Amino acid sequence: MKPESESKRKLLETAMEMIWESSYGSVSVEDICVRAGVNKGSFYHAFKSKSDLAVAAFERHWEHKQPKLDKIFSPLVPPLERLDNYCQMIIDDQKEKYASFGKMLGCPFCSVGCELSTQDEKIRLKAEEMSQRRLRYIESLVRDLAVAGYIEAGDTMELAQEVRTYITGVLMQAKLENSMRRVERLQQGIMRLLGLKQHVTAAA
């Protein structure tokens, strides 16, 4: 396997960051190249088009996140704790972005997906795929919560989708309000949706 070139790596990272911070439409290929310290020629050697870069950047960003998710949703962790940790991860991520950019950025897949879903089918599909992957984790969590008797064992698949939808809404709303408030109450909302009584988490 050839080790992906440094330029390509830098372009992927820079692109994700810039598009996340503003939007796909308002960031030009030129902008990305300048910030990444790469020439335009190299850009079009590495990627067919701007749209292609976005898709690749999505994948890259996911690959970066996956290990953390695998750890949080490990079957070894009790399901209530998984929920705690997952919500905390989202809070931490958003806080970090808020600290470094001075504004709420929300979920990059949803933001960009929403911006382009009606115009660029490849990007829409990739965003949908990312959303699906997140759903898999939530499904396993909800299923285990049901098995452990914390929630009613109705249609757990449907319930998981509702939880994902709610999370999407929270991140969206947070971006719109440019405030952490909604994100901070994420867990509370999820628990209400799940029909879980508010519980006090033992100190870690």
Distance of closest approach, residue 124 Cβ to DNA, in angstroms: 17
Binding site for DNA (CB under 7 A): 2, 4-8, 27-31, 38-42, 44-46, 49-51
Binding site for a copy of itself (CB under 8 A): 21-26, 101, 103-106, 110-111, 113-119, 124, 127-128, 131, 158-159, 161-162, 164-170, 172-173, 175-178, 182, 185, 188-189, 192-193, 195
The binder of 127, among a copy of itself, DNA, none, by C-beta within 5 to 8 A per type, is a copy of itself
**Cβ pair 100, 17 in contact under 8 A:** no
Give the three-class secondary structure for 109. Answer: helix
**189 — phi, psi (to 5°)?**
-65, -40
Residues 80, 148: Cα–Cα separation, whole Å: 10
The contacts of residue 26 (CB under 8 Å, 6+ apart) are none
Closer residue to DNA in complex, CB, 49/119: 49
The binder of 81, among DNA, a copy of itself, none, by C-beta within 5 to 8 A per type, is none
The contacts of residue 107 (CB under 8 Å, 6+ apart) are 168, 171, 172
Distance of closest approach, residue 49 Cβ to DNA, in angstroms: 4
